[in-house]
Amino acid sequence: MANTLTSKVPVMEKKDSKAREQALARRATLTFLFRRLDLILSVLVVGLLIVVSIYPSLFTSNDPLKANPALSLHAPDSSHWFGTDQLGRDLFSRVIYGAHISLGAAAFAVLLSFAIGVLLGVIAGVSQGWLDAVIMRIFDAVLAIPSLLMVFAILTILGNGVTNIALAIGIASSVSFGRVMRAEVISVRSSTFVEAATALGVKPLGVVVRHIIPNSITPLISLAALEFGVAMLTIGSMGYLGFGAQPPNAEWGALIADGQKFLRNAWWLGVLPGIVFVTVVLAVNRISRVIGQGRSTNA
């Protein structure tokens, strides 16, 4: 009898130990999720925004341009989640379809600035001569001009419109990408593996394409996420001032500006699009900050 009890003790201890480990694992998981709750929500918001901008018809069946004067300034309800505007158009559908304009313009601006910055940064970092000096002086001249002022200057030449705003933002923001890329190229080109590739007879263009660019471009990812939020803010600001998408097209900045005129009688016209806009920008900035912290930790 005593031997039976003795043999059961290790089994019970193993079960208790396993249960404690499982409890600690669950607690660690819940703690991680709680601490990263804002990041998880940010990723969900950005992911939902991407889906909304690509497939807006999945989220609303209302036509964002169809007016119905009988429903003018209708308060939010189950049939019109965000209410209607002064022309009776469904505001929720206008916000949904406006995501395509705002997100597309911001993505175009970031991709353009990324491409220009990488190209000029690689040329400046590899050349390390008079061409590098010329490019850096151009960067300094652009940085001396406030980005918003440069956007206004480019819009004066090209005219109003979301595409022109995105083009102006892309040109103005390319300097940040170019300076970061140049610094990374200068750092990477002195690495041992680059010297080894050169010693093995790899052509200079091959060294740049195969070794320098892939190992220099990582820091630009977090910068791109940050610039995406800045681009959305700038596009929204330009739309608010009337330089963006022209009526009857829906754009978040223009929607907020139109809603401001009816804050006393129809608060939802300006408040609800504003909440959506701020939420998206904060989510993008949170993700970019985490990416930047991850880079610092790995470094």
Q: Where are the domains of the chain?
A: 104-245+261-299
| CATH topology for the 104-245+261-299 domain | MetI-like fold (1.10.3720)
Give the mean model confidence (pLDDT) for residues 62-79: 87
Alpha helices in the chain (DSSP H): 2-35, 37-54, 91-127, 130-143, 147-158, 162-189, 192-199, 204-207, 213-216, 219-240, 252-260, 268-298
- pLDDT tens digits for 146-173? 878 888 888 888 888 888 899 989 988 8
Q: Is a pLDDT exceeding 80 seen at residue 195?
A: no
pLDDT of the residue at 5: 46
Stretch 18-32: mean pLDDT: 59
Q: pTM for this one?
A: 0.79
The proportion of the chain whose per-residue pLDDT surpasses 90, expressed as a percent, equals 11
Residue 80 per-residue DSSP state? S
Query: 198-238, pLDDT tens digit by residue?
Result: 777 778 777 777 878 888 888 888 788 888 888 988 898 88
pLDDT, mean of residues 73-81: 87
pLDDT for the residue numbered 149: 84
Q: Are 103 and 284 in contact (CB under 8 A)?
A: no
Top-confidence range, 3-17, 195-209, 278-292: 278-292
* Average pLDDT rounded to a whole number, residues 191-198: 77
What does the pLDDT read at residue 34? 54
pLDDT at 265 over 90: no
Determine the Cα–Cα distance for residues 102 and 250; give it in Å rounded to an integer: 9
At residue 146's C-alpha, the angle toward residues 176 and 166, to 5°, is 65
Average pLDDT, the chain: 82
When pLDDT is averaged across residues 234-261 and rounded to a whole number, the result is: 86
pLDDT surpassing 70 at residue 6: no
Mean pLDDT of the region 90-119: 91
The pLDDT value given to residue 96: 92
